[in-house]
Amino acid sequence: MCGVIGIYDYEEVIAKTYTAILTLQHRGQDSAGILTYNGRFHLKKGNGLVRDIFDHRNIARLKGHISIAHTRYPTVGEGSVEDAQPFWINYPYGIAGAHNGNLTNFFELKQELFEKSHKIINSNCDVEAILSIFTEHLEKFRSKELTPDIIFNAVRYVYRKVKGSYSVVIYIADKGMLAFRDPFGLRPLLFGINRDKLIPSFAFASESVTLDVLGFKDIKDLKPGSAIFIDKNRKVHEKKISNKPHRPCIFEYIYFARPDSYLNKINVYKSRVELGKKLAKKIKKIKLPIDVIVPVPDSARAAAIEIARILNIKYREGLVKNRYIGRTFIMPGDTLRKESINYKLNPIADVFKNKNVLIVDDSIVRGNTSRSIIQMVRDTGAKKIYFASYSAPLKNPCIYGIDMQTRGEFIATNSTPEQIANKIGADKVIYQDVKDMQEAVREQNKEIKSFCKACFTGIYPTGDVSKHMLEQIEEEREYMSKHLNLTLNK
Ligand code: 5GP
Ligand code: SF4
Ligand code: MG
């Protein structure tokens, strides 16, 4: 998962872009980049947090009215600065882009581009492949005026060639800004227009919060399999190109996105309240002697409050988070992840001592977080510790951009809730059912018939995922995480 932004303004855009990129820091803390355009591209990218990468010097150099920005969460790629986005290439047009998602046929594309078109994909970054495929189509029209139709046909060509998930923002020098979502709309992408001034300005972003903060009022989601092109005269062209069913990633609502965002007309916070409501009904049936309900901050708070309200049990914030440590899951490599959980959370002994507690979290992935939390809560003198996850058991690799790509990584693979409880040291583990999980998120937008929930069910909506492909991805993943561990532990 990453954060992507494109701004098409009428005045110097760097201040807005910097504000915007900060709103998407939670989508990736591995690297970030901003590219601007004023007759030439200016680019600054680096590893780490936004606030550490940009300073007065490089901000002063990022001139222009047009920008593309990105925060990266590592999926494919070795975490090097060369693989950070945005990317630009020079032929057949000056063209720059960034994307959020993960291509499942990246290595095939890389090979094909080299063998058939003698193009080298220099990085391990998906967007370089997308740009190369996109321009392969444009090349045929170099002598012609670049019309919206030609551009949309190039997107159609991308859809034919590129598999996986991708929400893309591209700027074609002096021609215009283009954004598109993959055919299934797996990853989010929103579009805003600001007409407050004489000249309208436009922006694309992975989450609505970015457009809110920039003052955009007129905000909408790009439809799955559709593209929006703003030409050099600021005319907006929109086209639905593919008619696949919409299958947005359910994990955005469970964990990833900010609670104040609206994605696919669904507010993330409200969906977490609904998830809590459904889970409360299940817990009620089990009739556990719970004295106090405590969320794992921050994502589980909304659901835990709702569970406590429905069960009429005391809600307490018994785990305190150190805000200055990044998101644990985002830490590449298991060693770093395990270490940072312990610095990150600390229990308030009085909340737990001699009590039966229900701890609520959004998910259990590897079980590192829950195991350490349960241990620290036991140490305070709690009696029974029940652990509830408002998402279903995670068992399958995500091939669409979330860093949990091998089956061996999941505590729930081949284990029952009882066995999981045993492994993490809980007296009981309660999971949301898959059906309830989906219905809770669908509640606000029934037009979405189904979500991608492949990491829970093993059913991949793009339909092109073979067992062999999963094994290959797992192998690559294992290799990369070992490699990342080595480099980061130095
Ligand atoms: P575990 O320690 O079980 O591997 O991780 C579960 C915890 O990681 C949960 O508290 C969840 O909030 C957090 N988390 C952070 N990022 C992600 C992510 O991308 N996916 C999932 N499933 N959990 C994440
Ligand atoms: Fe989201 Fe899971 Fe689907 Fe990945 S597999 S896109 S995390 S729902
Ligand atoms: Mg968490």
- Cβ(470) to ligand 2 under 6 A? no
Find the range with the poorest average confidence among 219-223, 242-246, 358-362, 365-369: 365-369
The two structure tokens encoding residue 361: 């979290």
More confident residue, 357 or 73: 357
pLDDT at 405 over 70: no
C-alpha of residue 288 to centroid of ligand 2, in Å: 31
Q: Are residues 183 and 312 in the same domain?
A: no
C-alpha to C-alpha distances, 56 to 18, 45, 51, 65, nearest whole angstrom: 12, 14, 11, 18
Residue 75's pLDDT band (boundaries 50, 70, 90)?
Answer: low
**pLDDT number for residue 384:** 98
**pLDDT number for residue 73:** 83
Q: Are residues 289 and 438 in the same domain?
A: yes
Q: Are residues 275 and 225 in the same domain?
A: no
- 278 is a domain residue: yes
Question: How far is Cα 340 from Cα 347, in angstroms, rounded to an integer?
Answer: 15
Residue 113's pLDDT band (boundaries 50, 70, 90)?
Answer: confident
**With pLDDT > 70 as the criterion, what percentage of the chain qualifies?**
92
Residue 14: strand, helix, or coil: helix
- Cβ(453) to ligand 2 under 6 A? yes
Q: Are residues 344 and 438 in the same domain?
A: yes
Question: What's 255's DSSP letter?
Answer: I
The residue nearest atom 6 of ligand 2, judged by CA position, is: 249
Task: Give pLDDT tens digits for 149-165.
Answer: 999 999 999 999 999 99
**pLDDT number for residue 334:** 59
Q: Are residues 76 and 200 in the same domain?
A: yes
pLDDT at 82 over 80: no
Find the range with the poorest average confidence among 92-101, 371-380, 469-478: 469-478
**pLDDT number for residue 475:** 77
Domains in the chain: how many in total? 2
Question: How far is Cα 362 from Cα 366, in angstroms, rounded to an integer?
Answer: 13
**pLDDT number for residue 490:** 22
Question: How far is Cα 416 from Cα 413, in angstroms, rounded to an integer?
Answer: 9
Binning the chain into helix, strand and coil, the percentages to the nearest 5 are 40, 25, 40
- 251 is a domain residue: no
Query: Ligand 2: which of 102, 163, 251, 406 to mutate, most ligand atoms within 8 Å of CB?
Result: 251
Q: Integer distance in angstroms from the first to the last C-alpha of the chain? A: 26
The residues whose Cβ lies within 5 A of ligand 3, an ion, are 296
C-alpha of residue 368 to centroid of ligand 2, in Å: 20
Residue 80's pLDDT band (boundaries 50, 70, 90)?
Answer: confident
CA atoms within 13 A on the CB side of 192: 25
Q: Which residue range is the domain that position 427 belongs to?
A: 269-489
- 259 is a domain residue: no
Q: What average pLDDT does the segment 1-14 reach?
A: 96
Question: How far is Cα 275 from Cα 286, in angstroms, rounded to an integer?
Answer: 17
CA atoms within 13 A on the CB side of 68: 27
Q: What average pLDDT does the segment 370-391 reach?
A: 97
Residue 331's pLDDT band (boundaries 50, 70, 90)?
Answer: low
- Cβ(257) to ligand 2 under 6 A? no
More confident residue, 75 or 391: 391
Atom of ligand 1 nearest to the CA of 372: 2
Atom of ligand 2 nearest to the CA of 165: 6
**pLDDT number for residue 147:** 96
Q: Are residues 376 and 284 in the same domain?
A: yes
Residues that are catalytic: 2
**pLDDT number for residue 485:** 45
**pLDDT number for residue 329:** 52
- 254 is a domain residue: no
CB-based contact 126:102 (threshold 8 Å): yes
The residue among 229, 244, 259 that closes a domain is 244
More confident residue, 389 or 487: 389
**pLDDT number for residue 124:** 78
- 345 is a domain residue: yes
The residue nearest atom 5 of ligand 1, judged by CA position, is: 365
Q: What average pLDDT does the segment 306-331 reach?
A: 85
Relative to beta strand 31-37, strand 314-315 is: unpaired
**pLDDT number for residue 79:** 65
What is the gyration radius of the CA atoms in the chain, in angstroms? 23
- 179 is a domain residue: yes
Q: Are residues 230 and 344 in the same domain?
A: no
Question: How far is Cα 370 from Cα 387, in angstroms, rounded to an integer?
Answer: 8
**pLDDT number for residue 90:** 87
C-alpha to C-alpha distances, 258 to 207, 295, 356, 358, 472, nearest whole angstrom: 8, 17, 31, 24, 32
The residue nearest atom 11 of ligand 1, judged by CA position, is: 363
Q: Are residues 231 and 338 in the same domain?
A: no
**pLDDT number for residue 483:** 60
How far is residue 141 CA from its own chain's centroid?
35
Give me the CATH number covering residue 339: 3.40.50.2020
CA atoms within 13 A on the CB side of 472: 11
pLDDT at 327 over 50: yes
Question: How far is Cα 300 from Cα 295, in angstroms, rounded to an integer?
Answer: 5
- 74 is a domain residue: yes
C-alpha of residue 298 to centroid of ligand 3, in Å: 7
The residue nearest atom 4 of ligand 1, judged by CA position, is: 366
Task: Give pLDDT tens digits for 411-442.
Answer: 999 899 999 999 999 999 999 999 999 999 99
Q: Are residues 214 and 274 in the same domain?
A: no
**pLDDT number for residue 202:** 98
Closest CA to 472 of 115, 74, 125, 105: 105
Atom of ligand 1 nearest to the CA of 391: 22
- Cβ(363) to ligand 1 under 6 A? yes
- Cβ(296) to ligand 1 under 6 A? yes
Q: Are residues 129 and 73 in the same domain?
A: yes
Q: Are residues 239 and 273 in the same domain?
A: no
The residue nearest atom 4 of ligand 2, judged by CA position, is: 398
Atom of ligand 1 nearest to the CA of 1: 19
Task: Give pLDDT tens digits for 455-481.
Answer: 999 999 998 888 887 887 777 777 766
Task: Give pLDDT tens digits for 22-53.
Answer: 999 999 988 999 999 999 999 999 999 999 99
Ligand index nearest the alpha carbon of residue 341: 1
**pLDDT number for residue 467:** 82
Q: Are residues 275 and 234 in the same domain?
A: no
- 249 is a domain residue: no
CB-based contact 189:206 (threshold 8 Å): yes
Ligand index nearest the alpha carbon of residue 371: 1
The residue among 193, 227, 244 that closes a domain is 244
**H/E element, 275:** helix 268-286
C-alpha of residue 361 to centroid of ligand 3, in Å: 6
C-alpha of residue 364 to centroid of ligand 3, in Å: 9
Give me the CATH number covering residue 11: 3.60.20.10
C-alpha of residue 17 to centroid of ligand 1, in Å: 29
Q: What average pLDDT does the segment 356-378 reach?
A: 96
CA atoms within 13 A on the CB side of 8: 31
Question: How far is Cα 104 from Cα 97, in angstroms, rounded to an integer?
Answer: 19
**pLDDT number for residue 487:** 33
Q: What average pLDDT does the segment 208-235 reach?
A: 97
Atom of ligand 2 nearest to the CA of 404: 7
